[in-house]
Structure 1
Amino acid sequence: MLIRIGYDIELGVTAPTALIYMLQVHPSRAADIPAGEAITISPPLATDHYRDAFDNQCARVHVPLGVGSVRLRNTAVVHDSGLPDPVDAGAIEHAPADLPTHTLAFLLPSRYCEVDSELLPFAWAHFSGTAPGWPRVQAICDFVHRHLRFDYQRARANRTALEAWRERIGVCRDFTHLAVTLCRCMNIPARYVTGYLGDIGVPPVPYPMDFSAWFEVWLGDRWHTFDARHNTPRIGRVVIARGRDAADVPITMVFGVNKLQRFDVVTQEVSA
């Protein structure tokens, strides 16, 4: 399967600043984009490219005085298996003492995932009786999927997992933060993922295409994909970045006053 991805994002700025963007496909999918990505910045500006601590591809754009707006555009074609997310119902859960050390950071509280809150006793009261491993993570996804009501108009950039749990509303990042937090409360390493997820194999949704958020948990000997928002295996996920929560993987971050002037995202299947 071939999937066309891309975006057209424009930010208005009023003073010299720096803009960080994490809008390149994750290195783990580089082999699936043989022609590469066609990222452009208008006007052309000096840019530093680097990898962060989670191996995400990042860039810092130097925005000088007099630049009224910065426009980021990209288009690429990704080769994908066309298969839904793998399911491994027998994947086992490990005690913290037996986990690989590289997973331990994903057990800790983070900016939007308050493991050290009232969610901790709630998680143990509601999920300790479920079978450990895959069934327990699926039970958490089932709960979050039922507990939160998706409302694109009620998106809020600073809503935490605890607040989403209390307010019972959110968008995909809120579903993901709450599920990640509940998994960590149960000592299951969980990390936040952002990327492209189009309406492939499902009815199209009645709101604009956007980037999506889901999560991965460490079970058995590897990371597995889960999605509390859709709560079903999906086709065509393209990872951009991974981190502890949304604070680690901002699509764009401007150090100063700015205004979003344009935001278009494309994710669609194309013929060979």
Structure 2
Amino acid sequence: MLIRAGYRIGFDCLNPMPIHLLLSVHPDRRGDLVTDDKLRTDAGAEVTREQDALGNLATRVLAPAGPITFSAEFVVRDSGLRDRQAPGAGQLPVEALPVEALPYLLPSRYCETDRLGDLAWRTFGGVAPGWARVQAICDYVHDRITFGYHNARPTRTAAEGHEEQVGVCRDFAHLAVTLCRAMNIPARYCTGYLGDIGVPASTAPMDFSAWFEAYLEGEWFTFDARHNIPRIGRVVVARGRDAADVAITHTFGQAILTRFEVITEEVEATAADTSEGAARMAVA
């Protein structure tokens, strides 16, 4: 299947400033791009793209004072399958984990394992280690937090989300990540596109989504505590310890957000789409 995705994000910059953006499809999925996802801007700003320390594809822009809009629209090929399930996947002991997984056991800006460790062991200590334990955590978070865009707060931590019992997708992900880490399961935060594919369409405006991945038996598996069902059509943009690592935009100065639109929808494949996409990618 093919998915059309993209964004239009506008700022009014009070002064010239650098802006850091994580909006490119993750390197793991770039082979699935049918057309280019190159970021475009209407202000003639200097744009560079590079891989960051966590393996994400970042864009740096030196924005002039005044209005600036960032946009991209592209097509990506997807398997059309739901998130992979492996109910028998076991949990590796900490001493057997690869070194690259160890940072995802530690507390981070939004994931305070030290504050929720006792709760995690009381609640999930009796659940079989591995997939069953991660799924039990997802069930708990899904039932604990009530979703609502009006509940969004950029400074809310996992412990605060647990206490307040409200939030958006990032809050579901942060709490699940924190509880997994407290149970010695490496977990990392993910952001990307997730459209209403294979589920009833939402009346809310499309937005970027957040979910998480847990490390079991030597592999990273996708989990989503907000929706808590396997979904179709995830396109990962960035992975990190939590949302602080993978902010979609980061302005290094005073700027007012003036526009925010996200596109994610299934489209029908045609021979013209495929050949045009191949040609555009070859030129890029």
Instruction: Give TM class, smaller chain.
Output: over 0.9
1:157 corresponding residue in structure 2: 154
Q: What's the CA shift string for 1:55-109, capped at 9, x where partnerless?
A: 1001111123xx3111000011010000000100011101111111110000000
Secondary structure of the residue that 2:50 maps to in structure 1? strand
Name the CA distance, whole Å, in 2 between partners of 1:76 and 1:254: 24
Give the alignment's TM-score, normalised by structure 2: 0.93
Q: CA deviation at 1:14?
A: 0.6
Secondary structure of the residue that 1:111 maps to in structure 2? coil
Note if 1:239 corresponds to 2:236.
Answer: yes
Aligned amino acid, residue 155 of structure 1: A
2:279 corresponding residue in structure 1: none
Name the CA distance, whole Å, in 1 between partners of 2:6 and 2:50: 21
Kept in 1: contact 2:34–2:74 (CA 8 A) = no
1:42-121 superposed matches below 5 A: 42-64=42-64, 67-117=65-115, 119-121=116-118
1:266 corresponding residue in structure 2: 263
Name the CA distance, whole Å, in 2 between partners of 1:75 and 1:162: 37
Name the CA distance, whole Å, in 1 between partners of 2:38 and 2:218: 35
Name the CA distance, whole Å, in 1 between partners of 2:154 and 2:68: 21
Name the CA distance, whole Å, in 2 between partners of 1:12 and 1:156: 22
Give the alignment's TM-score, normalised by structure 1: 0.97
1:122-201 superposed matches below 5 A: 122-201=119-198
Name the CA distance, whole Å, in 2 between partners of 1:89 and 1:192: 21
Note if 1:219 corresponds to 2:219.
Answer: no
Name the CA distance, whole Å, in 1 between partners of 2:102 and 2:38: 36
Secondary structure of the residue that 1:241 maps to in structure 2? strand
Note if 1:23 corresponds to 2:38.
Answer: no
- Give unpaired runs (5+ residues) of structure 2: 270-284
Number of equivalenced pairs:
269
Name the CA distance, whole Å, in 2 between partners of 1:192 and 1:37: 22
Secondary structure of the residue that 2:114 maps to in structure 1? coil
Aligned amino acid, residue 237 of structure 2: I
Kept in 1: contact 2:24–2:38 (CA 8 A) = no
- Give unpaired runs (5+ residues) of structure 1: none
Aligned amino acid, residue 104 of structure 1: L
Note if 1:3 corresponds to 2:25.
Answer: no
- Aligned-residue identity in percent: 54
Name the CA distance, whole Å, in 2 between partners of 1:211 and 1:177: 15
Q: CA deviation at 1:221?
A: 1.5
Q: CA deviation at 1:38?
A: 3.8
1:254 corresponding residue in structure 2: 251
Q: CA deviation at 1:183?
A: 0.1
Q: CA deviation at 1:163?
A: 0.4
Q: CA deviation at 1:45?
A: 0.7
Q: CA deviation at 1:50?
A: 1.5
Kept in 1: contact 2:186–2:214 (CA 8 A) = yes
Q: CA deviation at 1:206?
A: 2.3
Q: CA deviation at 1:154?
A: 1.2
